[in-house]
Amino acid sequence: TDQRFIFLPGKPSQLLLNNQLVPSQHVYSLALQIGYSELKIRKRLRTSPHKQFDSFDQVMDNFRASYFAGALMLNRNQVKEELKEIFQSETWNGDAILELLKHHEVTPETFLHRLSQILPGLFKITELHYFRFEHLVGKNEIRLTKELNMPRTLVPSGVRLKEHHCRRWLPVSLLKILEEEQLKGNPNKILIRTQRAQFVESGDEVLFISIAHALRLRSKMNRCVSLGLRIDNALKRKVKFLNDPQIPVEKVNQTCERCPLDNSQCSERTAPPSVFIQEKKEELMNRTLKKLVTDYRTKNLKI
């Protein structure tokens, strides 16, 4: 089963934990239950992952409990000092972040999700996004399963979820690298990488920090969680390792369907630029109609 826990109400209530969980997942499951109790949430989720929510209130209550659990496991003041040390380094050090995961006994998802919550308040880094991708080993499909954008959308959302995410994105390419490592005989490998991604059309530049690993409860399923920080002058002052020459810089787009790069400019394309082509056709049509209307008006003809 892929259930991390099952909660049985009663006197006393019981919490059944999956024995395949790693210690950090055990701790989070317990912290979540403490959150439900301390916040006096009556209708707590009885399974995790939960398949379906019955109301918005249930979604909000689960968010509050999960926020509490993350805060309980990662004290904001302690994490602030640890992040300061990482940000002030002139070179990128992914191993330092992996050491923090071990020290706090948290999963990559809990750690990066917690950072997305505290970076705006502690470091005034507000233009960020957090998302999670999953990939079944042996398949080409890579699915976006969770996202948080604030305040501007930089990544595919809504109707774009069925499109093919840019394979140059670090979280997407890292899943393929992880698959290659697993095929070499490293099934429990955890990979952490960073990247400066330059979006072709918008001109936005984003610093990606991504962590990829295998899921324990879902066979052959890999997950990559990623935190993206929009690069501006303020971020350059706060994050010294941004200028590390070892950090790769990539031209990226949102999805293959929306990308103007041709095959000579991008060898990673997995789908034709159908949306881009359609948008250009509509732009041409609008320009043609506008010109037609203008020409008729100059000839004093009534439309």
Q: What is the pLDDT of residues 180-214, one digit of tens each?
A: 999 998 888 999 999 999 988 788 899 999 999 99
Domain co-membership, 26 together with 105? no
Domain co-membership, 94 together with 200? yes
Q: What is the pLDDT of residues 288-298, one digit of tens each?
A: 888 888 877 77
235 pLDDT more than 90: yes
The count of structural domains within the chain is 3
Domain co-membership, 122 together with 156? yes
50 pLDDT more than 80: no
Domain co-membership, 43 together with 171? no
132 pLDDT more than 70: yes
Domain co-membership, 85 together with 38? no
Domain co-membership, 23 together with 139? no
| Beta carbons of 217 and 134 less than 8 angstroms apart | no
- Helices and strands (DSSP H and E) totals, the chain: 8, 9
Domain co-membership, 202 together with 239? yes
Domain co-membership, 281 together with 212? no
Domain co-membership, 90 together with 183? yes
159 pLDDT more than 50: no
Domain co-membership, 51 together with 154? no
The pLDDT score that the predictor gives to residue 300 is: 62
> Residue 34 belongs to what domain range?
5-73
Domain co-membership, 238 together with 198? yes
Q: What is the pTM of this model?
A: 0.86
Domain co-membership, 197 together with 282? no
pLDDT mean across residues, the chain = 88
| Beta carbons of 50 and 63 less than 8 angstroms apart | no
The pLDDT score that the predictor gives to residue 265 is: 84
Pick from 40, 57, 73: which residue ends a domain? 73
CB within 8 A of 35, min separation 6: which ones? Answer: 41, 64, 65, 66, 67, 68, 69, 72
